[in-house]
Structure 1
Amino acid sequence: MKQARSVESLSESDARAELEWLAKELLKANLDYHAEDSPQLSDADYDKLKARNSAIEARFPNLKRADSPSDMVGAAPSGRFGKVTHAQRMMSLGNAFDASDVTEFDDRVRKYLGVRAGSALPYTAEPKIDGLSLSLRYENGALVQAATRGDGTVGENVTANARTIRSIPQKLTGAPEVLEVRGEVYMTHADFEALNQRQEEAGAKTFANPRNAAAGSLRQLDAQITRTRPLAFFAYAWGEVSAPLAETQMGAVERLASLGFDINPLTRVCADVDALLEQYAEIEQQRARLGYDIDGVVYKVNDLDLQRRLGYRSTTPRWAIAHKFPAELAWTRLEDIEINVGRTGALSPVARLLPVTVGGVVVSNATLHNEDYIAGRASDGGEIRGGKDIRVGDWVQVYRAGDVIPKVADVDLSKRPEGAAPYRFPETCPECGSDAIREEGDAVRRCTGGLICPAQAVEKLKHFVSRGAFDIEGLGAKQVEMFYADDQLPVRTPADIFTLEARDAANLTKLANREGWGETSARNLFAAIDERRRVPLARLLFGLGIRHVGEVAAADLARHFGSWSALTQAVDAAAPAAARHLRADEAEAAERRAAAEEGRRARIKPAREAAWEGCDAAARAAWEDLIGIDGIGAVVAAALVTGFGQSAERASIDRLVEQLTIEDAAAPDTSGSPVAGKTVVFTGTLEKMTRAEAKARAEALGAKVSGSVSAKTDILIAGPGAGSKATRAAELGVETMDEDAWLALIGGA
């Protein structure tokens, strides 16, 4: 995991760079875990990265990215299954890692609700099952649909497979007319070992751990295969219900048990934080004897009325948190360090280990993060691991918390082989030989080869056909690699995919005649490609693989501009100003360095203003409009302009667009809301509701809530104690109202 100094000591430029890195790492981790059933990052490392991201965003709210991991749940559903839109979104959980985190969670809940410390506020505590989330929909007592979580909004239809699980009732007696039961599909340790033994005897693939086995079994295209797999289901929550199950969390879970569902017998009601921590310790002590995998304990406010008051953040409920267990450790030998080159040219070091069992799973690879981590340095130049570097042949401690590739946590210098040389990180790309440079403020070294680098080109194509992008059935990672290397039907750019059928028709060596292909498979591939010639604007933007432009940013851009032509015109118009912005950043960094060397205060504003001198007014206005889009900041905007501005990349994009019909983005339906699309700012003390409740309600009505007043602000809601924001609003002529007027305005919406 990336090492860094404390959040409090970060400069804004450092924070921006680290948020960029975190967004990339966490997006990949989400796809690996939720979509591919093949996680490469440990649960503990994932949690730490996400916590670090949240902490930086809290200190620098203006830097929150459009593709912030804080706003993401899971990953897009697979194209192999039908899609199911959840009636109520399936959320993720915030994490606690120690007793102080649990106390802070309780404090936040009490503050939000206005419940004094010491007053009764019961919670439930239940084991956090390490399996695959599943939502079961019953209508008039009959199971009609089962869906995975997917990205929280849309999941995969696995109804036929779920019907084969013995612990999932097919019929319910006495249930509400509509009932969505949510829980976790898992596999016991004994069943997992027996399954792997059968797989090995049959010469089939074995599974790394029970979670992967459960996920892979539930997501089989043939339900008869799922029927042979020993899956089980624990119910612990619900989605849409036509009538309440109970008044409390515990009562509702017990109601599910009375309907025939298995619930976890270790679920308890706890009177306070001390009782929660006692139950956590009790469950942790029993963990090894449970016979199935858990990775923590989940705490939930017991009173369902209070849960409704607390509501949700963008991806997590305010009324629940997962208290995670500590990680696991083992020692082994580092046999080699290999460098992988990713889609953005990042050189990522991977440790190849003498296989070792860690927590019941055999691991042979570990992440080494970056060259500083190998050298024993933090990003600020400080030491990690006491300054001990990592060398091939070292005896290393590997760290794992869950079911995935671990990281190297420590080195035993007493066992270092004689003559072991310090590792020299490559300064040229191992794939294409181009220079690999490390920009200031970036922890990662990147290949400069661009499209001439086969690793980058192949990874960009894999991203283009991935589920969140064009999602072309039958064209996955293996097929991309095959076509990229093909001399007869090469696919080197996205546009080549859409000319594949025409080129095949003109080629003497037909795809249907090649090994692994036939008439049917070739015809199906061409049909699947044709289905994707019509594409929504947001999917196209995401599929281009422009750095920083994730699914959320792509959707934000599509909503704002509406059409491809409007977006490209705006980006091209902003290009000259984007270059000035980057120069201003460089000027600011240079001024900070000079000021530090001279022992004086940095003169940031003059340095930045000098970089903007002579900039065309229209270009600057286009740039300001671009970075002013809700959720799109300067980092994403600069990446977008850069991606469209490189001649080779633009030519590739233009060739692709010629093959497509791009659907304009539909405007959201906010009829009936008096504040839809307006930017509002809250300041001073709110007396009728907490600031968090006010923000949540405004956003639910389609308003954009900002932390500062600008010319784009439509309404300032000022309570007692309003200061500089009210003054600024008056200067700009922004409409200002008190809390009562605000509530009157939105009361009927």
Structure 2
Amino acid sequence: MTAPSLRAEALRAEINDHNYRYYVLDAPLVSDAAYDKLMNELIELEQAHPALITSESPTQRVGAEPLSAFDSVRHAVPMRSLGNAFDAEDVHAFSKRVFDTLHGAGMASAEEQVPYVAELKFDGLAVSLRYEDGRLVRAATRGDGQVGENITSNIRTLRSVPLKLKGDYPPVLEVRGEVLMNRQDFEKLNQAQQARGEKVFVNPRNAAAGSLRQLDPRITAKRPLRFYAYGWGEIRIVHNGQTELFGQESGSADMPCKTHAQMLDWLQTLGMPVNGSRKLVYGAQGLLDFYEHIGSTRTALPFDIDGVVYKVDSLEAQEVLGYVARAPRFAIAHKFPAQEETTRLLGIEVQVGRTGAITPVARLEPVFVGGVTVTNATLHNEDEIRRKDVRVGDTVVVRRAGDVIPEVLAPVLDLRPPDTALFIMPRQCPVCGSAIERPEDEAVSRCTGGLFCAAQRKQSLSHAAGRKALDIDGLGEKLIDQLVDSGRVKSLADLFTLTSDELAEYERMGRKSADNLVAALDKARTPSLERLLYALGIRHVGEATARDLARHFGSMDAVMAANEDALLQVHDVGQVVAASIQHFFAEPHNLEVIAQLAVAGVHASAPRQPSGSDLRLAGKTLVLTGTMPTWTRDEATRRILAAGGKVSGSVSKKTAYVVAGEEAGSKLTKAAELGVPVLDEDGLKALLGIS
């Protein structure tokens, strides 16, 4: 081999290995810049020596010439759909059917001992990839299960799909899986689409399907698509020198894997990306436990799922169970409550936030989505309404993911009636009548009424009473509404003049509740300076900035007197934050509230200046994951910061320690990959010098 061919071969191997580590192992070894440097070298080498170009080269993922139409592909093994379970009763019924059949065949003695593989149900587009002698020769959509569309040119552009398998592969292998798009990539794609004045996508699944069915593969190549394998179709293996068919409907004693879990592991050794959120469980209770765990953590996943899938683990048992109609009897999909539904937009109103932000809110015909009945959904701001072209009277797509506030994603334009109405932002606050203005270079319009506005006053009081601010236990939103609406509380200081007698007169407030609230208010009279600063609700001043201000200046008077130059000396305070702080303390009514707080006996305690021995975590970054036995995450964060450390949300090579509790997630895995030390709560306490 010539020197150029040797170098090209080495570059392809190195680039393919980096693709494998990034897309399959989720453990990249090089930066994007270093990867691009290798790819550019290979491109230049192949351009200089065209004879070196092969169909499996990673440079050949840019997309072929456009197609006039997709050809049809008949699947060698049908791509079957799954039956659905919607509740625990359905899962128990599935488990009983499986056990009854296997018990009758002498393959199971107890229902709770039947092993299953529980996996994620991806919300993407199902595809089948056919490899012959280890090389990708064809890719097809599910279609009707028997016949799909040939999308080989488009699939070849996905870097997560190996063009050539690794290791010891069979003569023929069809890999079944899902093409999808991560939510973060989806948002970037829509931003780029919007910037070019092109159509934006409703959701990641819509974007993935649209990208994969482009007649021009060069467009697909620019879309951030990913593939995850979860099954197989036709497999031909070599047995006694002969090629034999292996499959879920034919079987072969010489297949190297005997279980579904082993098959997925085997596919991964061949270079196929297989998602790690899968688990071997036993019986119906194991299935339901997996469902609950994934349901409670699904919003932390980088992509959308719409349920989980249960498959009997033993391949021999799968053969015995067989199929009914178009679905296997050995597997079932347990669906989550729908996160997207359509309903009618009846009207658009506006809500006023703590800082005066005006948020348009959609009033909807009631619709059950994400496990609850939704009647209101956010529309974010005026620009979003214009971008999405949402109008009163439209049929709209509504999304609710986990505990996230429902939002209107898009109108269904094909169902738009002729009498829809455009939204016009009101010029006056619906609560106080003050002017609504939109500051320059901001997307959000604001009420100019300040604390004169009852809506802002209520939100401000609720914020100040919160656990991370003054922590006034017993002061809930309903009571705040009554206190403000009655005119008794006009500012934060007025709270500290309330008596048990008058509180007991309010709705749902008995004598004991009133006494407890007065006691909580007394306790809140001596907050730390950082908590009081945070409670004031200064725009752009969150917990961290309030803490930095308190440590830097040491007193409320010093913070109030600070000019821009002095404020810019505070850690992470820039010109926008400094201007916001100065503006707040320049407002007469804000100064009056602070003076009234002092009269009511509210005095912030000066922050303790830590000594050198206290700063034992100075310069170190820690990451918290999971649930600790006795400390909340807030408590652990506070103690780390007090010791001079920093708390980050992601693990990197710069992370000093990962503190892991129960149900620690992917951060623990990342720590192991990077060799970052892992501590439990006791280890953190020892690090802090706490016995």
TM over 0.5, shorter chain = no
Greater relative contact order, per chain length (Cα 8 Å cut-off, separation 6+): 1
Larger Rg: 2
**TM-score category (smaller protein):** 0.3 to 0.5
